[in-house]
Structure 1
Amino acid sequence: MSTIAVLGVGPGLGMSVAQRFAKEGYAVGLVSRSAERHPGYLAALEASGVRTVAVAADLREPGAIARALDEITAALGPVDVVYHGPGAHDLRAPTVDILETSPADIRRATAEIVEPAAELAALVLPAMGSRGHGSLVYVSGLSALVPMPFLGPYAPASGALRAYARTLAAAVASDGLVVGSLVVGGLIERGDIHQMLTGPGSPAPYATLDPDELADAVWRLASGLEDEIVFDVLTPER
């Protein structure tokens, strides 16, 4: 049985990815910062006979990614697919315009977003290479492609993550490995930010995306059918 590690699981895209791969017969390892919602996630997957485990870990902390992957491997076996989808920048949090962004701001944002991605690649790609197969899918924001000055340091950091994913893809293609890039521009339904910004029965203040459609895109990327997929409901005129 193949195994996927879903890093950054939440009620929106993360769980949709878990359920999409579960339908294909994958065992599922879930990782999120808090264990509070893990029982519900596990029950939803186990109800359909899926082997699963959940690990609480803040992926930004040193050693957390390695520990989470070790726990998943111990419970479910070698990891064949890794989905790296840490939480998006909170749209309600205070932001600094790019003109007010300092070099230190950019260093902090890059460390938060890109360094865990690089740590993950160093941990999983050698083992995947030795087995001759494996997939790694990174998620970045639309500011990786479209100028969004209001995101301040998170815009260049997102661009760096996308560039890193695309460069990795070129580097490992000859080894039979897959590194996919999913670029998301829009509010993901059922996700935490979506729930914060919408009340019962009230319309979302932003254009929204269906997490199940995004999860299908993750499946295509992990299968090597496409190398990058962009969802953009924020700038449809582009």
Structure 2
Amino acid sequence: MKTIIIIGAGPGNGTEISKRFGQEGFQVVCAARTQETLAAVITELKEQGIEAVGVECDASRRADLESLVEWTKEQYGQIDVLVYNASILHQASVLEVSAEQITKEFEIDVLGALHAAQIVAPDMIARKDGAILITGGGAALHPIKSLPGLSIGKAGVRQLTHMLHDTLKDDNVYVGTVTIAGEVKRGTALDPKNVAAAFYTLYTNRTEVEKVLTAE
């Protein structure tokens, strides 16, 4: 059985990505900051017969990410797929947002993704197999005036993904991103189920570094 870690496994995209890979037979390790979030997600997954466990993890702390990866390896042997889905939203004017707030968001959006990739990549390179998938956002393409931290962070995530892809492709380690260009909402083109399907398609095809999902 293959193993997947979803970092940022909250309601919405995180849950649906967990379901999609779980339905394909993956052992699912869900990581989130609070036990309350994890309990709700794990209950929903297990009700559908999906093998899943929850691990508390603060994506802004490299030590937490290292502990998560080591625990998963001890339990399941190896990590076949890593999904980085963590981010935060803070509304503010770009003229008023504090450097501390931008730094906080950047630590989660970009540095968390970088650290997670750096931690899992060596084993994937050694066995010449694995995948790293990162949730991107349309703010990387068209900045959102009221969300400066997110816009800067998603631009960083997009560039990071392309660099990781180019760095790891010769070792048969796939890296890709789903850029969600719009509001995620049930019953629309940007339904979390469609986001999850896009992630699984990237993983199985391994031909594109980026899939842009739009509301149309």
- Shorter-chain TM-score above 0.5: yes
Q: Retained in 1: the 8 A contact 2:88–2:108?
A: no
Q: Retained in 2: the 8 A contact 1:141–1:158?
A: yes
Q: Retained in 1: the 8 A contact 2:2–2:27?
A: yes
Q: Does 1:122 align with 2:118?
A: yes
Gaps of 5+ in 1: 191-203
Which of 134, 138, 142 is equivalent to 1:138? 134
Structure 1 residues 225 and 25, CA gap change in structure 2 (3 angstroms): farther
Query: Structure 2 CA distance, aligned partners of 1:133 and 1:73?
Result: 15
Query: Structure 1 CA distance, aligned partners of 2:46 and 2:65?
Result: 24
Displacement, 1:118?
1.1
Q: SS of the counterpart of 1:187? A: coil
CA RMSD of aligned residues (A): 2.3
Q: SS of the counterpart of 1:209? A: coil
Query: Structure 2 CA distance, aligned partners of 1:108 and 1:38?
Result: 22
TM-score by length of 1: 0.81
Q: Retained in 2: the 8 A contact 1:52–1:76?
A: no
Q: Does 1:54 align with 2:54?
A: yes
Find the counterpart in structure 1 of residue 43 from structure 2: 43
Q: Retained in 2: the 8 A contact 1:180–1:226?
A: yes
Q: Does 1:222 align with 2:203?
A: yes
The number of residue pairs the alignment matches comes to: 215
Find the counterpart in structure 2 of residue 232 from structure 1: 214
Find the counterpart in structure 2 of residue 193 from structure 1: none
Quick check: 216-225 or 77-86, which moved more? 216-225
Query: Structure 2 CA distance, aligned partners of 1:102 and 1:41?
Result: 33
Query: Structure 2 CA distance, aligned partners of 1:37 and 1:96?
Result: 26
Structure 1 residues 189 and 131, CA gap change in structure 2 (3 angstroms): same
Q: Retained in 2: the 8 A contact 1:53–1:75?
A: no
Matches within 5 A, 1:73-88: 73-88=73-88
Deviations 1:20-58 (A, max 9, x none): 111111111011111124344333333454332110111
Find the counterpart in structure 1 of residue 13 from structure 2: 13
Q: Does 1:172 align with 2:162?
A: no
Code of the aligned partner of 2:203: A
Q: Retained in 1: the 8 A contact 2:10–2:38?
A: no
Quick check: 23-32 or 101-110, which moved more? 101-110
Query: Structure 1 CA distance, aligned partners of 2:50 and 2:14?
Result: 16
Query: Structure 2 CA distance, aligned partners of 1:77 and 1:188?
Result: 34
Q: Retained in 2: the 8 A contact 1:30–1:52?
A: yes
Q: SS of the counterpart of 2:142? A: coil
Deviations 1:95-147 (A, max 9, x none): 22234456665444323321111111110011101011000011122110113
Quick check: 171-180 or 181-190, which moved more? 181-190
Query: Structure 2 CA distance, aligned partners of 1:87 and 1:112?
Result: 6
Code of the aligned partner of 1:43: T
The alignment-based identity, stated in percent, is 26
Q: SS of the counterpart of 1:150? A: coil
